[in-house]
Amino acid sequence: MKEKALQKPKQKKAMSNYTILLIIIGFVYILSMLVPSGSFQRVNGNVDPSTFTITPKIILNPIDVILQTPKTALSASGSTIIAMIVVGGAIGVITENGALDVGINVLMKKFKNKVLIIIPLLFAYFGALGMVGVMTVLPFIPLGIELARRLKVDNIFAVAVLALGAYGGFMASPISTFSTAVAQDIAHLPIFSGAGLRFTLTIVLLATMAAYLTWYAARVRKNPANSVLEKIDFGDSAPTEFTEEHLSKRQALSLVLFFSGFILFSICATKFKFGTSQLAGIMLPVGILCGLVSGFDFGKTMNVMVRGAARQMPSMMVMILAAGITTILSSSGILDSIVYYLSQTLIHFNSGLAAVAMFIVNSIINFAIPSSSAQAATVMPIMTPMSDVIGVSRQVAVLAYQLGDGYTNLLNPANGALAACLALTHTNFKDWLKLILPVYGIMFVECCVALLIAVAIGWC
């Protein structure tokens, strides 16, 4: 009896991202049986808001959902998965030759006690990518992990320092072709008009997130108990002290090649609308060149790239599993029904509150329609005539859509890319919410104030 009394109680095991996704898939499947199926008529891909009709109820066969999910994953994330494989391979090369470790070590030594200045610099870079609609941070997570390890922060920081910047830049972007341009075109507004207010709001949001994450990192560096994680776990990588190593010419050249590839992609993403498949196309030769200038032969270079790509496999499995949610929502015919019923609540508010309500409703809709262009095509044809009736300018309606589409991207447990990032850093969605909810509360207020100001000044 004494031995039993002395036994330590078993710690409750944290729920894995895979388990959380399975629970969500089950919930959405049940929802698909309860919500009426319905549809809008579409003209050139745009919804005619006056044509919503209830359609015969569609009850999905679970076997069909299972068989359709890989096809959905291929359609939605195929190019992203390829980019993850290629970029993961390229990162594997600069890790194998020691350039990444030594390069970060040199950078940390250069800043010494001011190393946290790297955080706003990263927010500026990834925020700029986010503004042009590039939010593919998953391939960069190994870089984030190494940065977090060197900063002596926790592993969830590796996700936050990349994802918050990219998604924050996207949220109110004045130049995104995936959200701003699509929504303004549907609302019959000049493309990229109203850029001044959007750019100002983007800077405010990015500055808020960068300041919060810098504060958080400083607290964890001072005392690891301030981390939102019960245990800081970098897997097989333990924090190390700075050394006196210097970059060799080969290592320096491989780093220059590696980051030049991303700079080239950033430029092409802006000018030529490059996406994730083109990112893979650029980084494949870059990875090979990095290996060759490191002194590896072609065979060793490819073997190292394969090992680097293999580290991305857990993330890719999460993305494939998450595609089941999209399969259920689209195949059951409840997407249009969800949009219709939520949009009906907006007609009961005055102009200022209606703008805020549009933001909130679009935030909810984004859980069901994570694609920004798909949400614009579905929602803006409804929001546009509604804004005319309730006294909200169409420009404000577009901003409300943008903010709603961007705000809940990182609050959505069904976000396959986010779940994959968390899996790669040995963390879970519960820990993620602990980290970001405080700053997201501040950002919610900032978004609402921005919309109220836009209405008050008659922004159009």
Distance CA 418, CA 327 (A): 18
DSSP letter string, 369-396:
---HHHHHHHHHHHHHHHHHHHT--HHH
Collect all residues with Cβ–Cβ distance below 8 Å to 169 and sequence separation of at least 6: 126, 127, 128, 129, 130, 131, 202, 206
Q: End-to-end alpha-carbon separation of the chain, Å?
A: 76
Contact 383, 358 (CB under 8 A): yes
Place of tokens 């920081």: 157
pTM of the model: 0.69
Partners of 43 in beta bridges: 46
Q: Is 444 exposed, middle or buried (0-12, 13-18, 19+ CB in 10 A)?
A: middle
Token digits of residue 407: 């705000």
DSSP run (H or E) holding 54: strand 53-54
Collect all residues with Cβ–Cβ distance below 8 Å to 356 and sequence separation of at least 6: 349, 400, 448, 451, 452
Token digits of residue 14: 């944290």
Residue at 55: amino acid letter: T
Place of tokens 């595609």: 323
Spell out the per-residue pLDDT of the chain, length 460, in tens: 444 444 544 555 656 667 877 888 898 899 999 999 998 887 765 667 778 899 999 999 999 999 999 998 888 778 878 887 888 888 889 888 888 667 666 765 666 556 678 889 889 878 887 887 667 677 678 778 878 887 889 989 989 998 999 899 999 998 887 788 888 888 888 878 898 999 999 999 999 999 999 999 999 999 999 999 987 766 554 444 445 567 788 988 998 898 888 788 778 876 787 777 888 899 899 999 999 999 999 999 999 999 988 877 876 787 788 788 878 888 998 878 877 887 777 677 888 999 999 999 899 988 877 778 778 877 887 788 778 767 789 999 999 999 999 999 999 887 878 888 898 888 999 999 999 999 999 999 999 999 999 999 999 8
Place of tokens 């009394």: 5
Alpha-carbon 77 to chain mean position = 13
Residue at 204: amino acid letter: V
